[in-house]
Amino acid sequence: MTINQALKEKNVLAGQVSKLKDRILQNNRFVKGEVPAYNTTTLLHEFRAKLAELVDLKTKIAVATVPMVGVIIHMAELKSLIGTLKILPAKAGTEVARYSAAEGTVYDVTIGEVERDSLVEEMEGQLRMAQDKLDTFNATTII
């Protein structure tokens, strides 16, 4: 199985674990004399088995992706920096506050809108290249 296939399987297992947990929470307490829709003891056994499968698969994925840890961390930090730059106030000039009789405040910036947007585009390109590298690795690496 490739890492891509393992990641898809991990998502399926995580969904199954979540569904079992919900059923356990919904069916453990019931009105005396009534029969719950599910036996929580059975569900708990199923939950623990699925959880063990999920932990095993996540461990295999983590071990297999060790060579790409630097790329993955770099991608996370790029995403964070891109997010910061996108909200960076970069507009210089006079700003008049709403409902104010004052003349306004004159702002200057170190990094202007054009430079900020250029940096974002550059980093998004780096992010795409890193993602392509990771996608290739995940599609070709067998675990």
Alpha carbons 110 and 11: distance in angstroms, whole number: 44
Give the angle subtended at the CA of 86 by the CAs of 83 and 90, to the nearest 5°.
140
CA 53/CA 92 separation, integer angstroms:
56
* Dihedral pair phi/psi, residue 105, rounded to 5°: -110, 135
At 89, give phi and psi (nearest 5°). -65, 115
pLDDT digits (tens, 9 = 90+) for 71-101: 999 999 999 999 999 999 999 998 887 776 6
Token pair recorded at residue 70: 């630097």
Assigned token pair, 115: 């430079």
Mind listing the pLDDT tens digit for each residue in 26-45? Answer: 999 999 999 999 999 999 99
Radius of gyration of the chain (CA): 26
Whole-structure pTM value? 0.79
CB 143 within 8 A of CB 61: yes
pLDDT at 101: 67
Q: What is the pLDDT of residue 12?
A: 98
| Alpha carbon distance 2, 122 (integer Å) | 31
In the block, residue with structure tokens 């409902």: 99
| SS3 of 4-17 | HHHHHHHHHHHHHH
User: What are the tens digits of pLDDT across the range 97-126?
Assistant: 777 667 888 999 999 999 999 999 999 999
C-alpha 80/C-alpha 63 separation (Å) is: 25
